[in-house]
Chain A
Amino acid sequence: MTADIGYPPLRADGLGKQYRRGWALRDCSFEIPTNRVVALVGPNGAGKSTLMNLVTGITKPTTGTVEVFGERPSGRGLHPRLAFLGQQKALYSTLTVAETLRFGARMNPTWDHGYAKDLVSSAGVPLLAKIGTLSGGQRTRVAVAVALGKRPGVVLLDEPLADLDPLAREETLRLLMNEARQHGITVVLSSHVLAELESICDYLLMIVDGQVRLAGDVRQALSKHRLLTGPSRTKVPGTPVDVVDDGTRTTSLVRDLPDAVLPPWRVGPARLEDIVLGYMRAPATEPVTREGRIA
């Protein structure tokens, strides 16, 4: 499995998908580096799921290309180094846990059965239980095991935490982080709740209205942005991403702030959440290039 060296896990070029109701994704270009935990964020309906479906080849792009370790998705099945866990966490509910793992083994030549079994049994999921009888957390555990059992280099998870209670969320995230770190897997997680991902992700891919609004390293993004507060109806210095004036006070997310900021402006650090909210609110601009706006 060294064939993918030199290729990024994921790369999109002018990627677009048009449905009958309009463009779900348009002119997306980005490149995700190896060994990252990527937060794919954006409001509901922004195109996150469409992007994931394009990467897995479940849907075909209308324009542009997407590559997984340098290969375009085809009808020949998923790239052996790519694993996917869809929003519905589809599993056959009449199969037992053991049968589900066997399914993974029969459908994937690179399957590591001992590893997949460990992932399931370490969480205390009974192997002989039917999938339909499991709790949401247990189901997720099995679905993650089916995804990781093929020993992928990159794993895509579409809203994996959406239907879980806080305990199961925490547990699922910890599992993903451990596996990613131990096995050098690039993890792409989508969510519309950024707070969940803030503590673990180190790369941000933000999609708004079907376009990439922000792509790049989280640390770099944090160092490049500041949150300014000041009086109402005053011009914000630097390059404001968005400006919120509530009549008494102006709050603004600013990129590449000049060294000295004069009063009455007060400068504070921008948290990841501030940055994401700021860019979501910002009026649509030209789409970012593959190099990204922050990188």
Chain B
Amino acid sequence: MIWVAWRQQRWQFVSMAAVLVLGGAALLFTQLSMMNYLTENGLTGCTLPDATGCTGHASDFEYYDLLKNYELAFLALPLVLGLFCGAPMFAKELESGTYVLALTQSVSRRRWLFTKLLVGVVPALVVVGVLQLLLAWCLTTAGQLGPLLEGTFKSVNYGSIGVVSLGYTVFTFSLGVLFGLITRRTVTAMAMTLGGFVAVRVALENVRQYIVPAQFAERPLGGEATVGGPWPRASVDLWIEDGLIKADGTRVTDFKGCYGVSDTAACYREAGFTKTYREWLSGSQDYWTLQVIESGILLGLGVALLVVAAYWMRHRVQ
């Protein structure tokens, strides 16, 4: 049965292997030549978040655009795999009638579903996983000279460093398989998979800051000492909100009463505020917690879709 599933997806398999080899070679080559460039120009120190005296180097770092393009291509990879390997997997069989042949052998429907799915999704996960590791290596090497300057939480960076891309791969595959079974049309299934992917991606981007409790710190008005942790660093952390705190503890995020006043601290004190506060997600701890949680959500969605797919295969495919 594994041979059958493999034989039917041979072209997808060959294409994935080509993407892995070509993409991997490109990333590896970029990584090595970039390391060389950084040492030769004495820029290694400028890749760190708190580097000083490096202003101006980022704008003419010649690998910046290349890395950005790698990131964008990588972001689309789970989608492309789901569209071209997941959606046609059963839609094509239902469209052409070959499912009758498959379903009238001595193999159960569930086994047919899951063997084909695994033979498709496992190589896809390998491709995404390996390319992700190489891309993350490139990005961290470039550090603040590359796209990471915009912060690790920036959507393209977030999708390129960490396990969330694997979650998207599983999710998009499952979505493609289910839509293929339901619509029985390859093109319709692909279009719906694209829609579903975009919807979930946008949704996750927008709920990210509510998934884990934010880091919190406050400091007295005009003072320097902080309570509860250091202020966030724009390059690493995700800023959520800041504002003022009254003596009774009430928080106000958008107090406009002191705009244009020269001594704002005095104005705030007069308005009854005693402290300022800030909320953010930490790039060191919260980042990885979020990556794991979001991957878990995507994996959970994928499994739920497959449960429906198994039901559909058992009861509705006829």
Query: Can you list, as one digit per residue, whether each of B283-318 has a CB less than 8 Å from chain A (1) or not (0)?
Result: 000000000000000000000000000000111001
A108 pairs with B318, CB closer than 8 A: no
B107 pairs with A59, CB closer than 8 A: no
The reply on B211 being an interface residue by CB < 8 A is no
By a CB distance below 8 angstroms, the chain A residues around B111 are: 77
The 7 residue pairs across chains A and B that have the minimum distance between CB atoms: A107-B105, A59-B318, A90-B101, A84-B104, A76-B108, A75-B109, A77-B106
B7 pairs with A95, CB closer than 8 A: yes
Apart from the given pairs A78-B105, A84-B104, 4 other A-B contacts in the complex at a CB distance below 8 Å: A77-B103, A90-B97, A90-B100, A106-B1
Return the chain A residue nearest B8 by Cβ: A92
A77 pairs with B4, CB closer than 8 A: no
The reply on A109 being an interface residue by CB < 8 A is yes
A110 pairs with B108, CB closer than 8 A: no
Q: Which of A59, A75, A92 contacts B101 (CB 8 A)?
A: A92
The reply on A162 being an interface residue by CB < 8 A is no
A86 pairs with B104, CB closer than 8 A: yes
Q: Tell me the bound Cα distance from A92 to B111 in angstroms.
A: 19
The reply on A29 being an interface residue by CB < 8 A is no
By a CB distance below 8 angstroms, the chain B residues around A108 are: 105-107
Q: Tell me the bound Cα distance from A105 to B226 in angstroms.
A: 72
Chain B: minimal CB distance from A224 (Å): 36
The reply on B102 being an interface residue by CB < 8 A is yes
Task: List 9 contacting pairs A-B, 8 Å CB cutoff, sorted by A.
Answer: A58-B100, A60-B315, A75-B108, A78-B103, A103-B4, A107-B1, A107-B4, A108-B105, A150-B105
Query: Can you list, as one digit per residue, whether each of A49-77 has a CB less than 8 Å from chain B (1) or not (0)?
Result: 00001001111100000000000000111
A106 pairs with B108, CB closer than 8 A: no
Q: Which of A86, A102, A150 contacts B100 (CB 8 A)?
A: A86
Return the chain A residue nearest B1 by Cβ: A106
A residues adjacent to B (C-beta < 8 A)? 53, 56-60, 75-78, 80, 83-84, 86, 88, 90-92, 95, 99, 102-104, 106-110, 146, 150
Return the chain A residue nearest B96 by Cβ: A90
By a CB distance below 8 angstroms, the chain B residues around A84 are: 104
A99 pairs with B7, CB closer than 8 A: yes
Chain A: minimal CB distance from B308 (Å): 15
The reply on B201 being an interface residue by CB < 8 A is no
Q: Report which residue of B3, B105, B313 has the largest number of chain A beta carbons within 10 angstroms of its beta carbon.
A: B105
Return the chain A residue nearest B98 by Cβ: A90
A107 pairs with B106, CB closer than 8 A: yes
Q: Tell me the bound Cα distance from A110 to B105 in angstroms.
A: 11
Q: Which of B98, B105, B108, B318 contacts A53 (CB 8 A)?
A: B318
Chain A: minimal CB distance from B311 (Å): 11
A80 pairs with B106, CB closer than 8 A: yes
Return the chain A residue nearest B316 by Cβ: A60
By a CB distance below 8 angstroms, the chain B residues around A80 are: 106
A86 pairs with B106, CB closer than 8 A: no
A104 pairs with B105, CB closer than 8 A: yes
B residues adjacent to A (C-beta < 8 A)? 1, 3-4, 7-8, 96-111, 313-315, 318
Return the chain B residue nearest A59 by Cβ: B318
Return the chain B residue nearest A109 by Cβ: B106
Chain A: minimal CB distance from B119 (Å): 12
A58 pairs with B318, CB closer than 8 A: yes
By a CB distance below 8 angstroms, the chain A residues around B100 are: 58, 86, 88, 90
Return the chain B residue nearest A99 by Cβ: B7
Q: Which of A77, A86, A91 contacts B105 (CB 8 A)?
A: A77
Q: Tell me the bound Cα distance from A77 to B110 in angstroms.
A: 9
Assuming the contacts A53-B318, A59-B318, A107-B4, asked whether A150 and B106 have C-beta atoms less than 8 A apart, the reply is: yes
Q: Tell me the bound Cα distance from A106 to B7 in angstroms.
A: 12
B7 pairs with A58, CB closer than 8 A: no
Q: Report which residue of B104, B107, B108, B313 has the largest number of chain A beta carbons within 10 angstroms of its beta carbon.
A: B104
By a CB distance below 8 angstroms, the chain A residues around B97 are: 86, 88, 90
Chain B: minimal CB distance from A100 (Å): 9
Assuming the contacts A60-B318, A106-B3, asked whether A91 and B107 have C-beta atoms less than 8 A apart, the reply is: no
By a CB distance below 8 angstroms, the chain A residues around B98 are: 90-92
Chain B: minimal CB distance from A21 (Å): 15
A58 pairs with B1, CB closer than 8 A: no
Return the chain A residue nearest B318 by Cβ: A59
B4 pairs with A58, CB closer than 8 A: no
Q: Tell me the bound Cα distance from A106 to B101 in angstroms.
A: 13
Q: Tell me the bound Cα distance from A95 to B5 in angstroms.
A: 12
By a CB distance below 8 angstroms, the chain A residues around B105 are: 77-78, 104, 107-108, 150
By a CB distance below 8 angstroms, the chain B residues around A99 are: 7
Chain A: minimal CB distance from B316 (Å): 10
Q: Which of A77, A91, A109 contacts B108 (CB 8 A)?
A: A77
A75 pairs with B110, CB closer than 8 A: yes
Return the chain A residue nearest B99 by Cβ: A90
Q: Tell me the bound Cα distance from A80 to B101 in angstroms.
A: 15
B315 pairs with A58, CB closer than 8 A: no
Q: Report which residue of A58, A83, A99, A107 has the largest number of chain B beta carbons within 10 angstroms of its beta carbon.
A: A107
By a CB distance below 8 angstroms, the chain A residues around B104 are: 56, 58, 78, 83-84, 86
Q: Tell me the bound Cα distance from A22 to B314 in angstroms.
A: 23
Return the chain A residue nearest B102 by Cβ: A107
Chain B: minimal CB distance from A283 (Å): 32
By a CB distance below 8 angstroms, the chain A residues around B106 are: 77-78, 80, 107-110, 150
Chain B: minimal CB distance from A96 (Å): 10
By a CB distance below 8 angstroms, the chain B residues around A56 are: 103-104
By a CB distance below 8 angstroms, the chain A residues around B99 are: 90
A75 pairs with B314, CB closer than 8 A: yes
By a CB distance below 8 angstroms, the chain B residues around A150 are: 105-106
Q: Tell me the bound Cα distance from A77 to B105 in angstroms.
A: 6
